[in-house]
Amino acid sequence: MAQKPSIPKGTRDFSPIEMARRNYIFDTIRNVFALSGFKQIETPAMETLSTLMGKYGEEGDKLLFKILDSGNYLSGIDCELLTAGEPCGKLTSQLCEKGLRYDLTVPFARYVVQHRADLQLPFKRFQIQPVWRADRPQKGRYREFYQCDADVVGSDSLLCEIELLSIIDEVFKRLGIRTVIKLNNRKILAGIAELIGAPDKIVDITVAIDKLDKIGIDNVNTELLERGLSEQSVKALQPILAIDGTTKERLLKLREVLASSETGIKGIEELETVINGAESFGVETQVELDVSLARGLNYYTGTIIEVKALDVQIGSITGGGRYDNLTGVFGMPGVSGVGISFGADRIYDVLNALNLYPETATAVTTVMFANFGHEEAMYSLSVIKKLRDAGISAEIYPDAVKMKKQMAYADTQKVPFVAIAGTEEMEAGTITLKNMIDGTQQNLSIAELINTLAIS
Amino acid sequence: MAQKPSIPKGTRDFSPIEMARRNYIFDTIRNVFALSGFKQIETPAMETLSTLMGKYGEEGDKLLFKILDSGNYLSGIDCELLTAGEPCGKLTSQLCEKGLRYDLTVPFARYVVQHRADLQLPFKRFQIQPVWRADRPQKGRYREFYQCDADVVGSDSLLCEIELLSIIDEVFKRLGIRTVIKLNNRKILAGIAELIGAPDKIVDITVAIDKLDKIGIDNVNTELLERGLSEQSVKALQPILAIDGTTKERLLKLREVLASSETGIKGIEELETVINGAESFGVETQVELDVSLARGLNYYTGTIIEVKALDVQIGSITGGGRYDNLTGVFGMPGVSGVGISFGADRIYDVLNALNLYPETATAVTTVMFANFGHEEAMYSLSVIKKLRDAGISAEIYPDAVKMKKQMAYADTQKVPFVAIAGTEEMEAGTITLKNMIDGTQQNLSIAELINTLAIS
């Protein structure tokens, strides 16, 4: 019975050329991670739901893909739950004990706690694996996508932040993507909120600062009042909203304004250390303060990092920050960490938009041998063996069909060379090599063939 | 609230050293695949259940991990199904429309059919991804494990089989594992069954042949009778059971015995072509006929391949065969294919048992800089930058804690060199390099440092 096959919405197949490009991205990131002393780990796709639930907020719990228990999963289930109008929450936890990981951070925290006896802190780990979210699929948002994370846990040294900035710098330099690294510090935001007497309004303040350029100071102030800030708070915020200039200038002015807030000053000092350290480390990417940066505000406790591409309109392509209690929820308090996550899918989109792939990021065989029949094929195999031993990818067309068809195949596969071995070549111990780009042909000894293809 | 975290049974975390070793295996296989003109694809972890169900037999259907639909998954469900005693089958298909892939073959067949318009046949694809099975976990059997598959579809040329044998040969040569490749052909088995007048007893015959060495001819014959073969059939089988000698000798004798079976002779000819072709191709691994080889008999239609390690007692570490109708179930008949699957987890076990990993398969940073405080750290960063630019992995201990602790850390991380940059070194623009293996120290200029570490 024929089915019209398809894949679940929000998921993707990757074709050979897409894989070559994705591998180029992953390999680049992996190499920079390793060069920087980070060690790779992998965790299972499935985690127990008790590991995942409650870590991503109520909305996150709903977006977890849950795995139905095997066997007779309804046995022992409360019948009332089955026939009640609102089945989801409680019933699900009885039907399912496993779920697909939602990110790499919670599995990493679980890993650290579970393997604490074998781990030497500080632990610098990286992890490149897919994650799954039952999000509404839309352009650029998938239900299965890769994350590429690097984290240092077990040290609160700002050298870790500096290290991560240098990784960002190096990865995007290698990929050829021009970026700006935006930095903020949770403590600066806390200092501002403290200063204006609205410690619970951090988010509203960052939203307002973010809109300043677009809607102007008057509209921002109106909005802040609407969001429940007192007139006094809004007034107190004005000197901060007025700050402009370069990052160094703004840090100087912020230091004056926040002078009375110990937390605020601490945040500024941390940021200065990170920015100056990155300079010492030779980071060439522009690093700038962005006080409106508030990503991950519910768990970041210090540095906040976001990377934007300069030449393509797209959301942030990398982000991260410092968290002070990653593993606390699993019973191991006091472990500080800082991490970044490269958004492989968006980076892929940026590279596509700018056509920045190197020539090596293709899935092309160097030479295809035409097939003239059994004897010729056996001769070709012996030559192919020598080519492969020399590191040259080579294959033979499997069927002795018409030459036109074989050449058409070589064309669609973008094979740059076709090798022809007929009776004459077999007798002479040679190969005729056709260059598929300029159409020229050469008769070559096997040694010459290897040399020619090794250089090309 | 502290939880004691763990992972679902049958799944694994991979530590840095395990990852280094696994990557060594995957990279080796990937490189040989690519060298041989195979192109990588990836498919989503989740497939629709309609793609997966009914492809692996009844037992396979039960072993599929099914994903609970999102949202209010009970709405519209037949209440009787919920409260009936036997809930599984029908209800599951209403609760779940997706499942985790069980192997790479069915998703590949689905891929070929779905993308048929964009694909040029023959299509040589490889795929290295995890699969999931709700099997009972036991030693060496996991619920999440990797498969490494290479298949050629769209050609019935035996050159494809020869190509796959050369890939097997090359992969295990590179890994340093001594193996034997066992071959059979479905058509030989069909010929035998036809000859003895028991065409539906292929499996019983192979089981009997397999036991010949262990239990002797008399017991085998008794068992065949018990399995429902007629006395006449058992008698007719005796000349076949009596065949021995080398592979070439056995093929000659089989050819005589099976002379009257067109199918049987076809199978012998195919096998001879494959074995001789492998020889022309320079395959050095021992290739032998094993008429008891019956893996995948429900879908293989020609060549059957199995690889055993010679120096470790373990099941087959690679297997494969030819199938004539991979995509028929998805409405695209007549596409012949042949493929192999490397069992990465068993190969991992073999490499561990024989301790065959190269020195490069570790997760070690070349040099760790000790941390003496902020200024020294900034100096170290500038040196680390130069080392990394030269391709040398380097890092700095993030905290300026006691030297003893830093050295102990370097020890546990098996870092071969520790770099020391104190006031003296900063003034002189040098580094003191300590060799952690022999304990020697050298004061080096930065250029000397790079040279020393690049060679090591």
Instruction: Indicate the pLDDT class of residue A78, thresholds 50, 70 and 90.
Output: low
The DSSP annotation for B378-392 comes to: HHHHHHHHHHHHTT-
Please report which confidence band the pLDDT of residue B455 belongs to, taking 50, 70 and 90 as the band edges.
Answer: confident
* Residue tagged 């030559």 (tokens): A383
* DSSP reduced 3-state for B445: strand
Are B72 and A92 a contacting pair at CB < 8 A?
no
Backbone phi, then psi, for A76, in 5-degree steps?
85, 5
* Phi, psi at B318, each rounded to 5°: -155, 145
Element at B162 (helix H, strand E):
helix B159-175
Count of all residues that appear for chain B in the document: 456
Contact A42 B13 (CB under 8 A): yes
**According to the model, what pLDDT value does residue A71 have?**
75
CATH assignment of B16-44+114-354, among 3.30.930.10, 3.20.20.70, 3.40.190.10, 1.10.260.40: 3.30.930.10
| Radius of gyration of chain A measured on its C-alpha atoms | 29
List pLDDT tens digits, range B256-279. Answer: 999 999 999 999 999 999 999 999
Nearest CA-CA partner of B30 in B120, B149, B112, B122: B149
Which residues on chain B are in Cβ contact (under 8 Å) with A74?
Answer: 82, 87, 91
Verify whether the Cβ–Cβ distance A393 to B98 is below 8 Å.
no
CB contact under 8 A, B37 and A74: no
**pLDDT for B138:** 86
Name which residue leads in pLDDT, B390 or A85.
B390
The pair of structure tokens assigned to A324 is 């002070």
Minimum-distance CB partner of B88 among A44, A72, A163: A72
- Shortest Cα distance from B403 to chain A (angstroms)? 15
ipTM of the complex: 0.93
Omega within 30 of 0 (cis) for the link into A122:
yes
Question: Which residue of B8, B130, B385 is in closest CB contact with A48?
Answer: B8
3-class DSSP assignment, residue B362: coil
**Mean of the per-residue pLDDT values of chain B:** 92
Query: Checking phi first, is residue A59 left (phi over 0); if not, alpha (psi -120 to 50) or beta?
Result: alpha
* Chain A residue with Cα closest to B34: A393
Residue B159 to residue A371, Cβ atoms within 8 A? yes
Q: Can you tell me the mean pLDDT for B61-68?
A: 94
Which residues of chain A lie closer than 8 angstroms to B42, CB-CB? Answer: 13-14, 19, 22
CB within 8 Å: A8 and B44? yes
A67-81, B159-173, B198-212: which is most confident? B159-173
Of B85-89, B137-141, B208-212, which gets the smallest average pLDDT? Answer: B85-89
> What distance lies between CA B433 and its chain's CA centroid?
42
Q: What is the CATH number of domain A363-454?
A: 3.40.50.800
Inter-residue contact A249 to A208 (CB < 8 Å): no
CA angle B430, B436, B440 (to 5 degrees): 60
Q: Return the H-helix or E-strand segment holding B323.
A: strand B318-323
What is the per-residue burial (b if ≥16 Cβ within 10 Å, else e) of A141-179? ebbbbbbbbbbbbbbbbbbbbbbbbbbbbbbbbebebeb
Reported as a single tens digit per residue, the pLDDT across B157-184 is: 999 999 999 999 999 999 999 999 999 9
Residue partners of B281: CB distance under 8 A and separation at least 6: A381, A382, A384, A385, B162, B163, B165, B166
What's the CA gap between A239 and B419, in Å, rounded?
A: 47
Q: Do A388 and B152 touch (CB under 8 A)?
A: no
The model's pLDDT over A221-242, given as tens digits with 9 standing for 90+, comes to 999 999 899 999 999 999 988 8
Structure confidence by residue, pLDDT tens digits, B70-124: 877 776 666 666 666 554 567 787 889 999 999 999 999 999 999 999 999 999 9
Q: What is the pLDDT of residue B316?
A: 93
Cα distance from B228 to chain A (closest Cα, Å)?
Answer: 33
Side-by-side strand order, sheet with A367-369? A394-396, A367-369, A417-420, A430-435, A441-445
Q: How far is CA B264 from CA A333, A435, B200, B235, in A?
A: 69, 44, 15, 18
B148: nearest Cα among B26, B10, B314, B46? B26
Residues of A in contact with B417 (CB under 8 A): none
Taking contacts as CB-CB distances below 8 angstroms, the residues of chain B near A40 are: 16, 19-20, 23, 363
Start-to-end Cα distance in chain A: 49
For chain B, the distance separating the N- and C-terminal CA atoms, rounded to the nearest angstrom, is 49
Tokens of A262: 């110990």
- Which residues contact residue A90 at a Cβ distance below 8 angstroms, ignoring those fewer than 6 apart? A81
- Contact across the interface for A157 and B398, Cβ inside 8 Å: yes
Distances (CA, A) of A371 to A359, A393, A410, B157, B303: 28, 17, 12, 11, 22
Could you tell me the two tokens for A209?
A: 């600062």
Look at residue B88 in the predicted model and tell me its pLDDT: 58
Q: Looking at residues B23-27, what average pLDDT do you find?
A: 96
Q: What value does the mean pLDDT take over residues A9-17?
A: 96
Res. B3 pLDDT band, cuts 50 70 90: low
Most B-contacting residue of A28, A39, A283, A411 (CB-CB within 10 A), to test interface:
A39
Distance from CA of A354 to the nearest CA of B (A): 23
pLDDT at A1 over 50: no
Q: Using the beta-carbon criterion (under 8 Å), do A40 and B110 form an inter-chain contact?
A: no
Task: State yes or no: pLDDT of A83 exceeds 70.
Answer: no
CA distance A197 to A192: 9
Q: Are strands B123-132 and B39-40 parallel, antiparallel or unpaired?
A: parallel
Are residues A282 and B385, on separate chains, in Cβ contact within 8 Å?
yes
Q: How far apart are CA A82 and CA A78, in angstroms?
A: 7
Distance from CA of B210 to the nearest CA of A (A): 33
| Sheet containing strand A144-153, strands side by side | A39-40, A123-132, A144-153, A337-343, A318-323, A303-309, A179-185, A286-289
- Which pLDDT band holds residue A448 (cuts at 50, 70, 90)? very high
Whether residue A73 is predicted with pLDDT greater than 80 in this model: the reply is no
Least CB–CB distance from B14: residue in A41, A143, A162 = A41
Are A284 and A169 contacting, i.e. CB atoms less than 8 angstroms apart?
yes
For residue A3, what pLDDT is reported?
Answer: 56
**Is the model's pLDDT at A86 over the cut of 60?**
no
Tell me the C-alpha to C-alpha distance, in Å, between residue A296 and each of A85, A304, A305, A311.
35, 8, 10, 25
Are B394 and A35 a contacting pair at CB < 8 A? yes
- B143 CB-contact burial (10 Å; exposed 0-12 / middle 13-18 / buried 19+): buried
Bond into A16 cis (ω within 30): no
Sign of CA dihedral A342, A344, A349, A350: positive
Beta bridge partner(s), residue B368: B395, B418
Q: Which of A102-106, A138-142, B248-252 has the lowest mean pLDDT?
A: A138-142
Q: Are A149 and A339 in contact (CB under 8 A)?
A: yes
> In 3D, which of B55, B155, B52 has the Cα closest to residue B100?
B52
pLDDT at B207: 82
C-alpha to C-alpha distances, A24 to A127, A360, B119, nearest whole angstrom: 16, 9, 23
Of the given ranges (A33-42, A290-299, B14-23, B330-339), which has the lowest mean pLDDT? A290-299
Contact yes or no for B308/B179 (Cβ under 8 A): yes
Nearest to B175 by CA among B390, B59, B22, B67: B22
| From A85-94, A409-418, B168-177, the region with the lowest mean pLDDT | A85-94
Q: What is the mean pLDDT of residues B47-69?
A: 92
Searching chain B, which residue's CA lies closest to the CA of residue A283? B385
Delimit the domains of chain B by residue range.
Answer: 16-44+114-354, 363-454
How high does pLDDT run on average in chain A? 92
Residue A203 — very low, low, confident or very high, per pLDDT cuts 50/70/90? confident
* Residues in chain A within 8 Å Cβ distance of B92: 68
**Buried/exposed code over A78-113 (b: 16+ C-beta within 10 A; e: otherwise):** eeebbeeeebbeebbeebbbbbbbbbbbbbbbbbbb
Q: Lowest-confidence range among A156-160, A187-191, A332-336, B1-5?
A: B1-5
* pLDDT tens digits along A276-307: 999 999 999 999 999 988 877 778 999 999 99
Tens digit of each residue's pLDDT (9 = 90 or more) over A355-377? 999 988 887 999 999 999 999 99
Strands A96-100 and B39-40: unpaired
- For residues A81-98, average pLDDT: 72
Q: How many contacts (CB atoms, under 8 Å) link A and B?
A: 306
How close does chain A come to B182, measured CA to CA in Å? 21
- Cβ neighbours of A406 in B, within 8 Å: none
Three-class secondary structure assignment of chain A? CCCCCCCCCCCCCECHHHHHHHHHHHHHHHHHHHHCCCEECECCCEEEHHHHCCCCHHHHHHHCCEEECCCCCCCCCCHHHHHCCCCHHHHHHHHEEEEECCCCHHHHHHHHHHCCCCCCCCEEEEEEEEEECCCCCECCECCEEEEEEEEEECCCCCHHHHHHHHHHHHHHHHHCCCEEEEEEEHHHHHHHHHHCCCCCCHHHHHHHHHHHHHHHHHHHHHHHHHCCCCHHHHHHHHHHHCCCCCHHHHHHHHHHHCCCCHHHHHHHHHHHHHHHHHHHCCCCCEEEECCCCCCCCCCCCCEEEEEEECCCCCCCCEEEEEECCCCHHHCCCCCCEEEEEEEHHHHHHHHHHHCCCCCCCCCCCCEEECCCCHHHHHHHHHHHHHHHHCCCCEEECCCCCCHHHHHHHHHHCCCCEEEECCHHHHHHCEEEEEECCCCCEEEEEHHHHHHHHHHC
Predicted confidence at residue B1, as pLDDT, reads 45
Mean pLDDT value of segment A151-155: 96
Whole-angstrom Cα distance, residue B190 to residue A69? 41
Asked if the Cβ–Cβ distance from A331 to B388 is below 8 Å, we say no
Distance (Å) from the C-alpha of residue A82 to the closest C-alpha of chain B?
Answer: 7
Mutate to test the interface with B, among A22, A28, A40, A131 (most CBs of B within 10 A): A40
Query: Is the CB of A44 less than 8 angstroms away from the CB of B163?
Result: no
**Cβ distance of B39 and A363 shorter than 8 Å:** yes
Question: In Å, how far are A81, B387, B418, B420, B429 from B424, measured between CA atoms?
Answer: 73, 20, 17, 10, 8
Can you tell me whether residue B107 is helix, strand or coil? helix
